[in-house]
Chains A and B, each alone.
Chain A
Amino acid sequence: MRMTGADILLECLLEQGADTVFGYPGGAVLNIYDSLYKYKDKIRHIITSHEQHAGHAADGYARATGKTGVVLATSGPGATNLVTAIATAQMDSIPLVAVTGNVNLDLLGLDSFQEVDITGITMPVTKHNFLVRDAGDLAGTVREAFFIAGDGRKGAVLIDIPKDVTAAFADYEPAENGYRAANALKKRENPDLERQIKEAAELLRVCERPYIYTGGGVISAGAEKELALFARIIDAPVSSSLMGQGCFDQTDSRYIGMLGMHGTKAAAETVRHCDLFVALGTRFSDRVTGDKTVFAKGAKILHIDIDEAEHGKNVTPHIEVRGDLKEILARFNKMLPRRHNGDWNKKAKRLHSVHSAKQKGTVEFPVTPQAVITELDRLTDGEAIITTEVGQNQMWAAMYYRYKTPRSFISSGGLGTMGFGLGAAIGAKIGKPEKVVVNIAGDGSFGMNMNELITLAEHNIPVIELVLNNSVLGMVRQWQRLFYGKRFSETTLDRSFDYMKLADAFGIAAFKIKREDDVEPVLAKALETAKNRPVLIECEIDRDLNVLPMVPAGKPITDPIMEID
């Protein structure tokens, strides 16, 4: 079948089950948008206010659904605007395919209007990328890109397509089976797997105080059921990284909280006392290990991950197992005897109850984020999808909402992208319309992406934007308080615009939380309203609230700061 490159691109997206595209038009993608006009019954396109947030939306869509997200942008500034979104997805191993237009082939390399070398620019922040120079290569490239994005450790892939390639005709044949790259699959084979599993099983048998630490890899692998059973079989306390939130039911009695810079004291103390640290689908980020030389010093470390480059990158394990987490845990669940570590679990649990933090409001700002998020958790029965921005809002969202299922906590963990959350919420709601979606934001992040309220209103995407407004860049301020002699350089925003009027201007329902008595009724009303239209909630909080516990960067995680004057 003879088709234009643009049509071939869309046919290939449909082959991959990609029926939703986030993006923004421009000159170099005119042919693609012209085809989208023809395919609008088959492919839904969501236009945002800015390409970056289209990228975050595709990312949020991927995180919420498990499918590969697709974002489309034009050449030059359209493409560079995507860079932060691509890097955000790649750092968190989220499957994303970004398609950019470029100038005609004969204009490439000549500093032409709206030309950038986007494959060069994104090389360090993608898993792989392509510049397609021939329409005949387009179908194969799109299939290959989807394969790479979703294979093994998932990630971001960019396809750059010059405008004349989208206009040129080429033969297109629907693919019977998806693309499978022999080389990549061969590299993923693990000839040592049986030996590794045997050695790991032995460690799991002889240990006395096992500890399970879960990362985002559990969610990527879809291994939550196997994990739940594994935790019961080896009878161990469970903690999660920021990216792992929700892979283990946080209302389960074995769950002892997040581990890391703002993890629970119980999670950190339990690491100190365990004799086997079982790390599942995680990369030992510096935000988790703190001082690596003393991290889990008394324990043996068993690290199970699909990416061989993570074994020994940050922490050197005693035993590494490389492969698919779902399969490996299922193997352990079959071969290991059920055991009982009553005293050990009781100790972990006791630590958890002793050190649970309680925030206090002030006379002027009595409402605390803890009270708001805990109430949100109660009203939504822990079933909502929570997206976050980055900073204090993100940490409070991770700490006080109890995630019960994977893909319910969506946050930029690796890159730490302020401005991520609202776009991600849009994508999550498009992907999971039946879910309540709440973006927990700060006023700083809100300033970075409030233009996407237009997108909420235009497409009537019933997301709740919950702004915890402390009029400062709270997390940076917290560091300035602790480490820079309270010199609050440029972190006091005090932007005195009216959130209610702003929301009204966009045609978005708006509510304000000011007193403790407001929390329950306002959240309930917002949740009711958000059944069919977007909502903004402004919640004023004190600017001197801190995220606690806190382990200063590079310090031992067992020694968190529990209070700040």
Chain B
Amino acid sequence: MVNRGFQSRAANHAACDMEKQTFVLRTENRVDALRRVAGIFSRNGCNIETVNARPEGNASVMEITVFLSGEKARELKKALNRLYDVISVDVKAK
């Protein structure tokens, strides 16, 4: 009962203060996809340092690579995956 891994988000922030992350997302290639992805980062106070978006193969899928630093970066994978246009999210710690 003791080690229940209960942590508030605030506690999480302190643990990963300004971490550097690379997110590799595959999304539907729609005009707003990049803006939706960027919105999740900005809402959570993460500053995108570099971003690259390019159509894949048959151009129906886009690959977005985002390099950023931010306090909440690690927690955002699920929030990104929840976006309707997002097909997959990979996070690579630097």
B6/A293 in contact, CB under 8 A? yes
Contact flag A318-B9 (CB < 8 Å), given A120-B35, A128-B84, A184-B84 = no
Within 8 Å CB of B9, what residues of A?
313-314
A308/B1 in contact, CB under 8 A? no
CB distance from A302 to the nearest CB of B (A): 12
Within 8 Å CB of B11, what residues of A?
293
A307/B82 in contact, CB under 8 A? yes
Contact flag A123-B39 (CB < 8 Å), given A316-B5, A316-B7, A318-B5 = yes
Those of B1-30 within 8 Å (CB) of chain A: 1, 4-9, 11, 28
CB distance from A466 to the nearest CB of B (A): 38
Bound together, the chains give a CA A298 to CA B84 distance in angstroms of 37
Q: Within 8 Å of chain B (Cβ to Cβ): is A402?
A: no
Within 8 Å CB of A298, what residues of B?
1
Contact flag A308-B32 (CB < 8 Å), given A128-B84, A148-B84 = no
Q: Identify the closest chain B residue to A314 (Cβ).
A: B9
A293/B8 in contact, CB under 8 A? yes
CB distance from A315 to the nearest CB of B (A): 7
Within 8 Å CB of B6, what residues of A?
292-293, 297, 301, 315-316
Q: Within 8 Å of chain B (Cβ to Cβ): is A363?
A: no
Within 8 Å CB of A301, what residues of B?
4, 6
Most chain A C-beta atoms within 10 Å of own C-beta, residue among B4, B11, B28, B79:
B4
Within 8 Å CB of B39, what residues of A?
123-124
B43/A124 in contact, CB under 8 A? yes
A123/B84 in contact, CB under 8 A? no
Q: Within 8 Å of chain A (Cβ to Cβ): is B81?
A: yes
Q: Within 8 Å of chain B (Cβ to Cβ): is A127?
A: yes
A292/B32 in contact, CB under 8 A? no
A123/B78 in contact, CB under 8 A? no
Bound together, the chains give a CA A301 to CA B5 distance in angstroms of 10
Bound together, the chains give a CA A120 to CA B36 distance in angstroms of 9
Q: Within 8 Å of chain B (Cβ to Cβ): is A543?
A: no
Within 8 Å CB of B91, what residues of A?
none
Q: Within 8 Å of chain A (Cβ to Cβ): is B87?
A: yes
B82/A300 in contact, CB under 8 A? no
Q: Identify the closest chain B residue to A183 (Cβ).
A: B87
Contact flag A309-B4 (CB < 8 Å), given A119-B32, A120-B35, A183-B28 = no
Q: Within 8 Å of chain B (Cβ to Cβ): is A187?
A: yes
CB distance from B45 to the nearest CB of A (A): 14
A309/B84 in contact, CB under 8 A? no
B5/A309 in contact, CB under 8 A? no
Bound together, the chains give a CA A297 to CA B79 distance in angstroms of 26
Q: Identify the closest chain B residue to A298 (Cβ).
A: B1
Those of A284-327 within 8 Å (CB) of chain B: 292-293, 297-301, 307-309, 311, 313-316, 318
B1/A300 in contact, CB under 8 A? yes
Bound together, the chains give a CA A53 to CA B78 distance in angstroms of 33
Bound together, the chains give a CA A128 to CA B83 distance in angstroms of 8
CB distance from B91 to the nearest CB of A (A): 14
Those of B46-84 within 8 Å (CB) of chain A: 75, 78-79, 81-84
Within 8 Å CB of B35, what residues of A?
120, 123
Most chain A C-beta atoms within 10 Å of own C-beta, residue among B5, B6, B28:
B6
Bound together, the chains give a CA A300 to CA B1 distance in angstroms of 7
Bound together, the chains give a CA A298 to CA B2 distance in angstroms of 8
Q: Which of A181, A292, A309 contacts B8 (CB 8 A)?
A: A292
Those of A140-192 within 8 Å (CB) of chain B: 148, 181, 183-184, 187
B1/A309 in contact, CB under 8 A? no
Within 8 Å CB of B78, what residues of A?
308-309, 311, 313
A127/B1 in contact, CB under 8 A? no
B81/A308 in contact, CB under 8 A? yes
28 interchain pairs, CB-CB under 8 A: A120-B35, A123-B32, A123-B35, A123-B36, A127-B84, A128-B83, A128-B85, A131-B31, A131-B32, A181-B84, A183-B87, A187-B87, A275-B1, A293-B6, A293-B11, A298-B1, A300-B4, A301-B6, A307-B82, A308-B78, A308-B82, A309-B78, A309-B81, A313-B9, A313-B78, A314-B8, A316-B5, A316-B6
Not counting A123-B36, A275-B1, a sample of 11 additional A-B residue pairs whose C-beta atoms are within 8 angstroms of each other reads A123-B39, A124-B43, A127-B84, A128-B85, A148-B84, A298-B1, A299-B1, A307-B82, A309-B81, A309-B82, A314-B9
Per CB-CB distance, the 5 closest pairs between chain A and chain B, nearest first, are A309-B78, A128-B84, A292-B8, A309-B82, A316-B5
